[in-house]
Amino acid sequence: MLPLLLTAVEDGRLSLERIAELCVYNPARIFGLALQEASTVEVEIGPRYTIGNQEQLSKCGWTPFDGVEVAGRVLRTVLRGKTVWDGERVLAEPGSGRLLWPMDAPTGAA
């Protein structure tokens, strides 16, 4: 998702501030999450490349955006002070995530 949004920034259709609002601040508000200074996503807007199924790390291994040219990428992700993505590979240990709300609780906006 983020490469597509960053491409919209480069194309002048969206601002970085709006991306932060949609992807960080609104979800934190909706789910009652505290923003953590030790959690960051480092991005690059620049050289264009084409999204391909071969580099997908999802369980299904494909994307509906296969063949779409984008101009943004995630360089590094830090979660609770630990680098969990270095731009090439996932570094988080399996099982190191945590539930943000009970699975049986409603997840709609309050």
How many angstroms separate the CA atoms of 33 and 12, rounded? 30
Please tell me the pTM assigned to this model: 0.77
The answer as to whether 80 is a domain residue is: yes
pLDDT band at 110 (very low <50, low <70, confident <90, very high): very low
Q: C-alpha dihedral over 30, 32, 37, 38, to 10 degrees? A: -100
Expressed as residue numbers, the domain containing 68 is: 2-85
Q: What is the pLDDT of residues 13-23, one digit of tens each?
A: 999 999 999 99
Which range has the worst mean pLDDT, 36-40, 42-46, 51-55?
Answer: 36-40
Measured between alpha carbons, how far is residue 8 from residues 11, 38, 83, 101, 109 in Å? 5, 27, 26, 31, 27
CATH number of the domain enclosing 66: 2.30.40
The answer as to whether 95 is a domain residue is: no
11 token code pair: 């194309």
Specify burial of residue 94 (Cβ count, 10 A radius: 0-12, 13-18, 19+). Answer: exposed
Give me the number of domains the chain comprises.
Answer: 1
Of 15, 6, 22, 8, residue with least CA distance to 72: 6
